[in-house]
Chain A
């Protein structure tokens, strides 16, 4: 199975400041079709997960442009340029290049 390792596991951020979350996969997520099957999801408190970013860097519909994704192969990063109160929750990375599809353990983002 592909292991997804997120760091840090928790983050406390002052509103307006940037935040960054790393995710490393145990195998390359680059498919022979040229796509990289890597995603970021956010689970806000008391809610279901929601898609933020797909294929490394594509923001999903309605996701604010303060969220950006980058990386390649096995190393990926989610950046929030200016954290807002509504960004609190647990961020999960996920891969779907190989079954079983696997998630990272999550990074809990809190506001200072």
Chain B
């Protein structure tokens, strides 16, 4: 079964850092782009970042550029999102998803909640 599972969320103070991880299984991780999408509780979806198969291409939404970094470890089948200089407005549920050919997001994980608050 193809699966992605996020972890690493939690409560952090403004200005702090957190690293999210996404464990994958059931597919050849190194052959797929991966993505992070976030959702403020009760609100809509916002694409955050993409990374290509070998990590040589990375794209981030402007609101997180310079603060968040997507990365991956193909040997461990893990996707990461390093989040620095966190702001209250970064509070959200963070989902990882596999990007299949034709840019389809499937599957999505269950999400990990990041709360930025003092």
Contacts and interface: CB of A to CB of B under 8 A. Distances in A.
A50 B45 CA distance: 12
A77 to B, nearest CB: 19
Contacts of B50: 99, 101
Contacts of B108: 48-50
Assign chain A's interface to a size class. 20 to 34
Contact of B47 (A51, A60, A102, A105): A102
Secondary structure class of chain B's binding surface, majority of residues:
strand
A102 B84 CA distance: 23
Contacts of B59: 99-100
Q: In the complex, which of the residues B45, B47, B95, B107 has the most CB atoms of chain A within 10 Å of its own CB atom?
A: B45
Interface of B: 37, 44-47, 50, 59, 61-62, 95, 102-111
Contacts of B104: 39, 51, 54, 60
Contact of B103 (A49, A96, A106): A96
Nearest to A54: B104
Contacts, number: 54
Nearest to B63: A100
A50 B59 CA distance: 22
A37 B110 CA distance: 25
A37 B47 CA distance: 15
Interface string A87-112: 00000101010011111111000000
Given A55-B102, A60-B104, A48 B47 contact: no
A55 to B, nearest CB: 6
Interface in A33-73: 35, 37, 39, 41, 43, 48-51, 54-55, 60
B45 A103 contact: yes
